[in-house]
Amino acid sequence: MEELKIKYPAGFENAVQMTKDEMEQHIRLMAALKMFELGKVSAGKAAELAGMSRLDFFETCSRYRVSVFNYPPEELELELEQDLERLWEAIAN
């Protein structure tokens, strides 16, 4: 993973009632949700940024009212094929 530093106002973590670690995780999640919503990244990449599985990311999308159906058709087909391959591999093992 790469690292990105951002500046924020002093005491901001107190204003949002979070620790610095919680705030970092929340910012990563919000960035992942928005970039996914805008079609900038796939669900897999967004989930990776948010530090969760794709299934957990999809559940989180639901909580934040972000549609999981904003894929271009070719990207959706590719991700579904990859999911099916992983499923068959899991069944075979």
Q: What is the pTM of this model?
A: 0.72
CB 54 within 8 A of CB 43: yes
CB 36 within 8 A of CB 66: yes
36 is written with which tokens? 């996914």
* The pLDDT value given to residue 80: 83
The pLDDT tens digits along the chain (93 residues) read 889 999 999 999 999 999 999 999 999 999 999 999 998 999 999 999 999 999 999 999 999 999 887 666 777 788 888 889 988 999 987
**What are the sequence ranges of the domains in the chain?**
16-92
